[in-house]
Amino acid sequence: MKRLLLLVLATFACRAFADDRPNIVWISAEDHGPHLGCYGDSYATTPHLDAFAANSLIYTKASSNAPVCAPARTTIISGIYPPSLGAHNMRSRVPSPSYLKFFPVYLRDAGYYTTNQSKEDYNLETDDKGWHESSRTAHWKNRPDPQQPFFAVFNFTGTHESQIRNDNESPHHDPALAPIPPYHPDTPETRKDWAQYYDRLSKLDAYFQKRLDEIEAAGLADDTIVIFWSDHGSGMPRGKRYPGWSGLNVAMIAHVPEKYQHLAPSDYMPGGKSDRLVSFVDLAPTTLALAGIKIPDYYHGQAFLGPNLAPAPRYSFGFKGRMDERIDECRTVTDGRYVYIRNYYPHLPHGQYLWYQQQTPTTSKWYQLFKDGKLNAVQSAFWQAHPAEELFDLANDPHETVNLAKNPAHQQTLTKLRAEMAAHQNRTRDLSFIPEPMLRKPTLAGVSPAEFFSNYFEPNSNRLELGNDSVSKYWRFANLLSAAPEAVKAALPEAIDATNDDEACVAVVASELVALHARDAEIRKQALETLVSYARYPENELILSLQAGVALDHAHQAGIELPESAKQLVADHESIPGWAKSYRPRLLERFQE
């Protein structure tokens, strides 16, 4: 009897505690920026989201940290900047370090019912993601105890980039009235795609209200904190995948009911706007704070809702790694007005040729017009090599079209943001300087890159120690790809020797440099054959084979004749993982035409 009484009391105590904790619901949508009526967009038709915002707090300077879904969602689930985990490249699928728990694990272990409907797309592999259920039917309604607090995520995919390409059965927005950014050419394709994009936002609006109605119908509106966010910039080209503000800036709206106003920030008011810098790395600590759970010490972000808020951060950081089949590496920092972009491959354009992105009519038309020489300077910039540093003033140039990095009047701002970026990379142990083929070695062995490469950092410091190793050799030749002709000429003998380097990714980048710049036909041919040998798969690791294939494509696009062996590379192979099935075949098509 005594035992039964204790059980009843324990159950009552648990429910009493549960009743004091808020339910938390996230409603997210893919591939769109703050193109909503509540953000001042007069072309948008989003009445339900606008009404929600009128009773909530709008964050005007929210960012996704990454301009594409998998790295962005990796940031969210981990509470850590993915470059610190070697998980910043698109669909890189790396093991989680031993110390890391996905944040839903903390919620579940604290008694929350956790559901996700249904996109995950994390770059991190782990045995426990923390979800009671993650599927197309996952729902907070499925919890076994109606008194149990819940954390539920609903992801709307109807705004995805791919949906811009589909005909809309009920078009609503007039293409003739579509707002065209200055970097896009004003063509019928561009207008139709922008109108279609806004049509999809209207579909999101209806979906959003359906989720709110479910909470209301269950009588839980007063007990539920709702956060709406979009997962990165628009699916239109130079939105998604672009490391500037048009790729990182997202919609984020938070509603805290009266019952939980003690968890709201001091500037919270219905219909209010906050210019606090918030980003996806802050979502995990914020959600744990709302649930009364201690925030792990290893998190990089800060809570922007909940008790005892930290002061607003002065800067927000972004990153970009490999996009699909194309290597890239960019870092971004903003103070809310100025955006600084550091491009580590300045010889490559922001608009690298990505087969998947080219399926959007605007993209393919824009690219063709560029090749035909029919664009102005602003419209051409996306397809051209960009400088190592870019600086934009969002107050006077919201579309990021005027690079101020060399403007004498802005050198103080440039220096400050450059220093903040370097400090951030050291503080967070950014692994991006380690080429992805090297990061893949521990990954394929089931070891976290963050743990494997921990000895690459200076003792008692977070600074990456390159030394005289393969990493420093790789970047020497990578930097020469954008160097002046005299510097390339002086380095060619060293590059020729490095085409036989024991580290394959060093041999690949050195071979590309030689293939593009060697005057001796036989030396060039040998470099191209080296690239062909590394482009073979499955003889070589997949990402390495892609990098060698991209180097061959660069040579092909430069008008260099490729050897017959390049045209005989086999595209399909059953061992290519599903996330990369299209990468290799589409890449080889580019230089085997």
- Residues with a catalytic annotation lie at 69
H/E segment holding residue 75: helix 69-78
Contacts (Cβ under 8 Å, ≥6 apart) of 110: 291, 292, 293
Q: Is 508 helix (H, G, I), strand (E, B) or coil?
A: helix
Length of the chain in terms of residues written: 593
Pairing of strands 113-117, 57-63: unpaired
- Return d(Cα 210, Cα 523) in angstroms, integer: 64
- Return d(Cα 468, Cα 450) in angstroms, integer: 21
Provide the token pair at 265. Answer: 């920030």
515 and 475 in contact (C-beta within 8 Å)? no
DSSP 257-313: -GGGGGGS-TT--TTEEE---EEGGGHHHHHHHHTT-PPPTT-----SSSSSPPPPP
Running DSSP on this structure, what letter comes out for residue 334? E
Q: Is 385 helix (H, G, I), strand (E, B) or coil?
A: strand
123 and 164 in contact (C-beta within 8 Å)? no
Please choose, from the candidates 321, 583, 340, the residue with its C-alpha nearest in 3D space to the C-alpha of residue 431.
Answer: 321
Please choose, from the candidates 32, 126, 38, the residue with its C-alpha nearest in 3D space to the C-alpha of residue 74.
Answer: 126
H/E segment holding residue 352: none
Give the 3-state DSSP-derived string for 127-177, with helices as H, strands as E and coil as C.
CCCCCCEECCCCCHHHCCCCCCCEEEEEEECCCCHHHHCCCCCCCCCCHHH
Bridge partners of residue 392, in order along the sequence? 339
For 205, counting Cβ atoms within 10 Å of its Cβ (0-12 exposed, 13-18 middle, 19+ buried), the class is: buried
The answer, yes or no, to whether the previous bond of 313 is cis (omega within 30 of 0) is: no
